[in-house]
Chain A
């Protein structure tokens, strides 16, 4: 393991647009909305930014290819701008690129951006897309809920948990996010939903009902990162530092050989292992103050609780139903409503997660502010459980 990037980079400013069905906005409007907030927050001028990364996952119905939409949208002064894409983990990928640029010394100040304008597809769910012409010859055209729903039966079978009991824990996950999202002015879905409504919702992909699935949203989020020294030179006192950003990508083992039982996401476990090592986290269940995880579906969040080490094997349903991850629990998860209710503009989601951790660490979260926040974790997952990219970042106050 290398020395890593712990405490080498701090966040100077962050911005996040309101997420939702932004019929009133084009992509450039969303970019401007998030950037304006971040720029004010950072206290710098736009021309101080040395390099920028644009994360957008679904270019065909979004802003198109290349980094030009960001360069043009923000009228950046001819600096290097690069587009990154790593499915739903794109937002964290963008943050990772900007952070590494600063940590390496290649840039003093870098901008990480994520944006997605999904509602112009004209239908719900993720856009239809190719898996690559070779793969399209044989791979199923399954939807995201179809892919993730298979976690449920495998998890239940492995741990001897009935689907009825599993569904109850999954419903609690969604119920919690709706409760949290209702307090977030920027969230897409701000309505509290009761457990029975969740359990009796129309089926999307067995056993995932409507409320077990996050929707897709329009939105943008960004971070301006720099070195601790430069940040201090601006007069900032409380600084949020990047403790770790780690990423793991499937190599085909899960879907191509017989070792994986389908009940967990191996890339999450690997990215978390590396992140904890880099950040010096001994026991994530107690060392982490709050987490924003990739709750694209309720069962995903349930499985993630074990993949990240927050719950022992087979005990996530119990911990969820006991309220361990509720807003008033010992380890709040999705305090901002998560993908489920804050929304999921794919390329922006990883940065939205970081935005919430940053906001909580600085005590700016208003109605949903948690007490004693010192270390936050984001978990951003792209693809499907059997072919995924997982990114885990850990942010904390610079000591």
Chain B
């Protein structure tokens, strides 16, 4: 058994961004103090994206070339899981078409959950791959520091005992019921005074934790080439660089904060992915997670990442701007009156979900003969007329295949939280054809004949009962970025 390390990385950042100055301008009449936080952008997941969908996309990006056959664990860390009791990790595992024997766990309750999940996976005695994902879509009150500072996104890393690109060389973890920030159920997020956090809490927890981790890694502060440091309030990263004497380290956190915002539990892992993408063989990477204590992990780069060198970086910087009203409406901060067509209640019958969940969540069609055309959904009497009870179906997963737009329309009549509503007919090379919704339009205009890929999204949300139902949507091949 070898020491475990990281063998693949991937991220997902929604291309939709809101300029922080736009948020400030919306509230300036009442909250002029927000101006100090109004530089840069924040990412904004669309209405049909949440922790689960972004986690799935990040994991797909991480496993694009390596396949998922050796994965036997999936952890999903977040402080904004969509359900209190319905496992995000399990939905993600199903969407990734992983076997039901894959061990799924959800971490949360602290922004440190991302690094804790990664550390736990790296310390396990396993010869198999684990997917460690962190994702956030935190919705904060209008005008709050959180609304302007936070961002949405996900990062995924595969841990393994072979084919490592970065190996864990040292770590230290320190827990403390130190409350710089809390978020009680049913209440708004609340943060302590900035100087208390920067000058007292971080110094007392992060500095000794990092020092201990570096010592275990037999590394000096000057050996650190890349640093992902906590920055819960402005100036922390800079101060930690000084306090820790990380004189040769390139800090990563500020770029993320200014391009996509504070990603909560996903920030350290997103920063780690960015650092790994940029690092050279032999480089030392320090990553920290802060929240009711601190995790510090030290990695040594063993081989460079082969993803074109800037896949994650381009996701971070690729942006399409929207205004504050559209942003606030997409997360129900503004309760827009969409008119009576929005009164429809999309109630999912749990029995129907139980019957169809595997094919729906993993997007699995089928064919009754090896040479036959694929169809979705599978039906008792197949498209070729045969009784599937006699022939059975050969499963074909459509999620990772590209398809062609047969027809598409821009529907201004149907209710959609992000109007207009785009849908049409999509056809796969294997013969499967079905009507589908399109995601991320009009960012990437589509027409008949264009190639699309599949994206895991929320299909509908039951406004009365809160249930959300997931399915796949077609999107332009370069929408949302691939890393």
Interface of A toward B, CB cutoff 8 Å: 121-123, 125, 128, 133-134, 136-143, 145-147, 149-150, 153-154, 157, 202-206, 252-253, 255-258, 262, 386
Contacts and interface: CB of A to CB of B under 8 A. Distances in A.
Nearest to A203: B412
Interface in B358-400: 360, 373, 375-377, 379, 383
A137 B413 contact: no
Interface of B: 339-341, 343-344, 346, 348-349, 352-353, 355-356, 360, 373, 375-377, 379, 383, 406-415, 421, 423-425, 427, 431, 433-437, 447-448, 459-460, 469, 471
B341 A141 contact: no
A140 B412 CA distance: 14
A123 B414 CA distance: 12
Given A138-B434, A257-B433, 10 more contacts: A128-B415, A137-B459, A154-B448, A203-B410, A203-B412, A205-B413, A256-B433, A257-B373, A258-B431, A262-B425
A142 B414 contact: yes
Contacts of A253: 383
Nearest to B357: A137
A142 B471 CA distance: 16
Given A142-B411, A257-B375, A137 B360 contact: yes
Contacts of B415: 128, 141
B414 A255 contact: no
A157 B448 CA distance: 9
A257 B424 contact: no
Contacts of A386: 425, 435
A279 B447 CA distance: 42
Contacts of B435: 139-140, 142, 255, 386
Contact of B360 (A138, A147, A204): A138
A150 B360 contact: no
A122 B437 CA distance: 27
Q: Is the interface of B mostly helix, strand, loop or mixed?
A: mixed
A157 B436 CA distance: 21
Pick from A122, A123, A146 the residue with the most CB of B within 10 Å: A146
Contacts of A125: 341, 413
A122 B340 CA distance: 7
Given A121-B340, A123-B340, A256-B434, A142 B409 contact: yes
9 contacts: A123-B340, A142-B435, A143-B421, A153-B407, A154-B406, A203-B410, A205-B411, A258-B373, A258-B427
A262 B406 contact: yes
A153 to B, nearest CB: 6
Given A137-B471, A262-B425, A257 B431 contact: yes
A128 B427 contact: no
A145 B471 CA distance: 24
Contacts of A252: 379, 383
A154 B407 contact: yes
Nearest to A129: B344
A137 B423 contact: no
Contacts of B423: 140, 142, 146
A143 B414 contact: yes
B344 A128 contact: yes
Contact of B409 (A123, A128, A146, A258): A146
